[in-house]
Amino acid sequence: MGKIACVRIFCMTTRRLYYDDAYLQNFDARVVSCLPAEPVQGASGAQPAWEVLLDQTAFYPSSGGQPNDLGLLGEASVLDVRDEADGIVHIVDREVETGGVKGCVNWPRRFDHMQQHTGQHLLSAMFQERFGLPTVSFHLGEEICTIDLHGGEPSRDQLIGAQRAANKVIFEDRPIGVRYGTREQLARLGIRKDVEREGLLRAIEIEDADLQPCGGTHVKSTGQIGMILVRGCNKVRQDWRGAGGHGGF
């Protein structure tokens, strides 16, 4: 779906703790470096900032339509999290000493993103499976999550049909897990969208509903998504953008 959030597992310089435990809220890490960064715009204007690189992190960086986590590194507030060549960079509001540090993820924000992202996977699967409308991109927001569908304009019956099918899977509270495999192995398992990357890839599996390459954070079962409500659809360039309500998706 657009820029697919999957990576080569063995190429990372920062260990991504959220890959195997999206529910991890507190963690210990080692500060590899802390350097002055460009000032960050806040409510009262520009404020000093630092770039912190850790050996491992539970903070998710902005990627593939999912916003970054916020929280604390020691006494420093995490203002932004970025995925860069040297690893995951944490933008904080004060200097952090090298050595050991405790991290704390803003859990309400993280769990909201987990609900929305898993809801998006499920709804996208229903649109593709039932109506042949693949998702090409998506965006998670504070109030609205949007997905861009490729193909003809979805009818009202199709929008309602995908919504009802997704909510049926939610009521069944199906388990959700993580699978690792090569592109060829995942293709044999029936992934929803093929990828061209080589090496070991990560995919999210909703039991008997969806298997999708993804590097994001997700809930453990469909019941934790909450209700899905498709609020509308409008034309965006050559595709169709559907907007979902904030009851999970």
CA of 94: how far to CAs of 55, 74, 113, 174, in Å?
A: 19, 10, 26, 43
Return the pLDDT at 14. Answer: 95
Within 8 A by CB and 6+ apart from 84, the residues are: none
Same domain, 128 and 233: yes
User: Is residue 185 assigned to a domain?
Assistant: yes
User: Is residue 6 assigned to a domain?
Assistant: no
Domain of 156? 112-244
Which of the listed residues 105, 130, 155 is the one where a domain comes to its end? 105
Return the pLDDT at 240. Answer: 59
Which of the listed residues 82, 105, 128 is the one where a domain comes to its end? 105
User: Is residue 5 assigned to a domain?
Assistant: no
The list of the chain residues with pLDDT below 50 reads 1-12, 246, 248-249
At 228, the amino acid letter reads: I
Q: Whose CA is closest to 143, among 249, 30, 31, 21? A: 249
**What is the rounded distance in angstroms from the CA atom of residue 34 to the CA atom of residue 43?**
24
Same domain, 200 and 147: yes
Return the pLDDT at 10. Answer: 36
User: Is residue 159 assigned to a domain?
Assistant: yes
- Do you know the residue count of the chain? 249
Return the pLDDT at 233. Answer: 83
Number of other residues whose CB lies within 10 A of the CB of residue 187: 12
HSE toward the beta carbon, residue 19, CA cutoff 13 A: 21
Same domain, 51 and 173: no
- Category of 48 on φ-ψ map: left (φ > 0), alpha (ψ -120 to 50) or beta: beta
**What is the rounded distance in angstroms from the CA atom of residue 239 to the CA atom of residue 152?**
8
User: Is residue 9 assigned to a domain?
Assistant: no
Same domain, 95 and 141: no
Return the pLDDT at 5. Answer: 39
Q: What is the CATH number of the domain that holds 27?
A: 2.40.30.130
Same domain, 96 and 209: no
Q: What residues form DSSP beta bridges with 27?
A: 103
User: Is residue 249 assigned to a domain?
Assistant: no
Residue 93 is classified by DSSP as S
Q: What is the count of structural domains for the chain?
A: 2
Which of the listed residues 72, 105, 138 is the one where a domain comes to its end? 105
DSSP state letters, 5-44 = ----GGG-SSEEGGGT-TT--EEEEEEEEEEEEEEEEETT
**What is the rounded distance in angstroms from the CA atom of residue 83 to the CA atom of residue 86?**
8
User: Is residue 8 assigned to a domain?
Assistant: no
Here the tokens at position 71 are: 């929280």
